[in-house]
Amino acid sequence: MVTRLYTHPIYLEHITPPGHPERPDRLRAIERALDDEAFAALDRVQAPEGDEATILYAHPAAFVDRVRAAIPDTGIARIDADTTASPKSWQAALTAIGAANAAVDDVFEGRATNVFVAARPPGHHAEKTTAMGFCFFNYAAIAARHAQKKHGAERVAIVDWDVHHGNGTQDIFWDDPSVLYCSTHQMPLYPGTGAKNETGAGNIVNAPLAPQTGSETFREAFETRVLPALDKFAPDLIIVSAGFDAHHRDPLAEINLDEDDFDWATGQLMDRAGRHSGNRLVSLLEGGYDLQGLAFSVAAHVARMMKG
């Protein structure tokens, strides 16, 4: 059992405006948490820069060109009300793609059993042709397609427990039954998608959670909607869109989870990976904006991955 960690200093150089919740300190908090001796066995690897051609697995070329053109030479450029770019944002995003695809290679080629990618900016709000919600490109979608194209995966499952619905991932795979997308998220909340009746080609499973609910409701949603869908689908790979903003300390939402819930959910997905996917599980950091809640939750998540 080898758990690998990908990160890179370039992720700290994606600069957002003062007071923006998606800030470099998020990764610094994770780094401090994973510096504990409990994580001495974690296989730490610097993330590689991605192949730009793989962006086209999830996004059309014209959109990629628009994002590239929006990157400023100096200062901060606004892409939408929430999403900004700085001079190193393109390289940060490309290296996040590189890490996600390398993680897929690792679990299919036996270099790691599972992988956690600590990258930013996040990705799950990026639709086929729209950058939004702090996100430029959808790394989970690109990684799923990479698994199919390079490693022959017939079925890939993406499980998203970020407190905000992954509208981008749903948009990209809406009519594609080879990819299962399961999401737990607060509703109503940004971006406004993720109702139970949004089912795509039968491959979209949304489990919305009411504001102010907590562990019991979250675990019930997992046990009654997410896990049965995974068992029926029997994926060759599980990708986790691992946002930790459903933590009770988080300022952007009203779901009251704690790190024990993320430990439990990780264990449930690892069990399904063991049953169906040759233990192959790749986890990609999404949200999580309270630094203490984020650090504790990531530590619990990665510790569970290391236990096997």
Q: What is the CATH number of the domain that holds 99?
A: 3.40.800.20
Q: Would you say the pTM of this structure is higher than 0.75?
A: yes
Domain span including residue 70: 3-307
Question: What pLDDT, on a 0 to 100 scale, did the predictor assign at position 308?
Answer: 81
For the chain, the domain total comes to: 1
Question: What pLDDT, on a 0 to 100 scale, did the predictor assign at position 1?
Answer: 79
User: What would the DSSP string read from start to end of 248-299?
Assistant: TT-TT---BB-HHHHHHHHHHHHHHHHHHSTT-EEEEE----SHHHHHHHHH
Distance CA(88)–CA(94), nearest Å, equals 10
* 10-residue averages of pLDDT along the chain (308 residues): 96 98 98 97 98 98 98 97 97 98 98 98 98 98 98 98 98 98 98 98 98 98 98 98 98 98 98 98 98 98 96
Whose CA is closest to 143, among 156, 129, 126, 162?
156
C-beta separation of 279 from 114 below 8 A = yes
The residue to which tokens 């009654």 are assigned: 224
Distance CA(111)–CA(14), nearest Å, equals 29
The interaxial angle of helices 61-70 and 89-109, nearest 10 deg, is 130
Question: What pLDDT, on a 0 to 100 scale, did the predictor assign at position 93?
Answer: 98
Q: What are phi and psi of 122, to 5 degrees?
A: -70, -175
Judge whether 125 counts as a catalytic residue: yes
- Check 8, 59, 124, 125 and give the catalytic one: 125
Distance CA(172)–CA(167), nearest Å, equals 9
State how far the alpha carbon of 273 is from the alpha carbons of 75, 192, 196, 239, in Å.
43, 30, 25, 10
